[in-house]
Structure 1
Amino acid sequence: MKTRQKNSVQGRTPLVLFLALYQLAGGLVGLGLCLKMIPALQQPSTSTWVGIVLAAVLYTFSILCGFLLFQVTRQAFLFSLANQILQVFSFGVTGLAYNYVAGLKVGVGVDFLTSWVFKLKFSLSSFTFSVGTHTGASFVAVNLLALVLLYLLERAKEAANV
């Protein structure tokens, strides 16, 4: 028991602490924005409530990942990696759209409306999930910051030797 606790404390490098705090903050901001939006809704549909619950679950997952990462366990790194993987790609095609960001998004993407338009995208804790809507959105984007965080999580995991 003491050995595991000792390894946990030794694994709490500044990088691990940063990654834990980043996930906590991103999840808290996202959850706060989600909760702030609810009073502004006027007669929300069932699908709107499903989207809000899904967003709240993902932001809560990000918060959980941050808390777990303070313990520097293998499971914490696996959950954190999954959390970042969910944030790498966002897309919209006929009737289906997905975007999840818990923290910051520094992304590059292509919009396919009338022609190919390359875009640089910045956002703070955002969520979009729609099925069967005809928004006309056709895009693909990659969150470069999530890719960097995946790399940093892998390095921190190796350094913590978990």
Structure 2
Amino acid sequence: MEKWLSKETISALLKLGVYQIAGGAIGALMILWAIFQTPVFNITLIIIYIFILALFGYSIFCGISCIQTKRNALKHSLLNQVLQVLSFALPGFTFSYTAGVSVFAGLVMTDSLEFNFSAGISSVTVNTMTGEDTLKLSVNIVAVLLILWINKLNKTVKEELTRWDLPAIDNA
């Protein structure tokens, strides 16, 4: 498919791919480090670590797909970013996932309503049975911007492939 795309589009896919690989690799390395620091394992912890490594592995897969200009690369990249948009905490459960850069803006609802802002790089938080009564909801602004960029890039790819009478990228 690469020979049918413009240099600008291939460059954009390369940038997106490198970003996703770097974010996934940093996250996976941090989790592997955490695994080696954990003195005692139980089945729940093992399942959580496997789940987290799978998320970061998926980001790496998406990046490789973009670099190789695979037909489904943007579909997978879009899903990867959608998984990173929301961070939330409910009584008894917390989830946050970022493979790459994050800038979260959100609300914390305890006895009052607070605005929350944070930034970071490749992280995951999965807590169960936290015992907190706090409700938190945050949106990763970087993931939202990447979703918009991926949608624009997907439209460009479709237009370029249509010029050659090739099937669109998301039909694969």
* TM-score of the two chains, using structure 2 as the length reference: 0.85
* Cα root mean square deviation, aligned: 1.7
Give the whole-Å Cα distance in 2 for the aligned partners of 1:74 and 1:90.
30
Mapped pair 1:149 → 2:146: yes
1:31 maps to which of 28, 31, 34: 28
Give the whole-Å Cα distance in 2 for the aligned partners of 1:130 and 1:22.
27
1:8 CA displacement:
5.1
Checking the alignment, whether the CA contact within 8 Å between 1:109 and 1:118 is kept in structure 2 is yes
Checking the alignment, whether the CA contact within 8 Å between 1:8 and 1:73 is kept in structure 2 is no
2:96 maps to which of 90, 96, 99: 99
Deviation per CA, 1:57-101, whole angstroms, max 9, x where unpaired?
Answer: 000000000000113333111000000000000100011211110
* Cα distance change, pair 135–35 in 1 and its aligned pair in 2 (3 A): farther
AA at the equivalent of 1:70: I
Mapped pair 1:18 → 2:15: yes
Q: Which runs of 5+ in 1 are unaligned?
A: none
Give the whole-Å Cα distance in 1 for the aligned partners of 2:146 and 2:13.
11
> What does residue range 8-157 of structure 1 map to in structure 2 within 5 Å?
10=7, 12-157=9-154
Checking the alignment, whether the CA contact within 8 Å between 1:105 and 1:122 is kept in structure 2 is yes
Checking the alignment, whether the CA contact within 8 Å between 2:2 and 2:10 is kept in structure 1 is no
Checking the alignment, whether the CA contact within 8 Å between 2:95 and 2:125 is kept in structure 1 is yes
Give the whole-Å Cα distance in 2 for the aligned partners of 1:153 and 1:131.
33
Checking the alignment, whether the CA contact within 8 Å between 1:112 and 1:138 is kept in structure 2 is yes
Greater CA drift, 139-148 or 46-55: 46-55
Secondary structure in 2 aligned to 1:87? coil
* Structure with max Cα Rg: 2
Q: Which runs of 5+ in 2 are unaligned?
A: 159-168
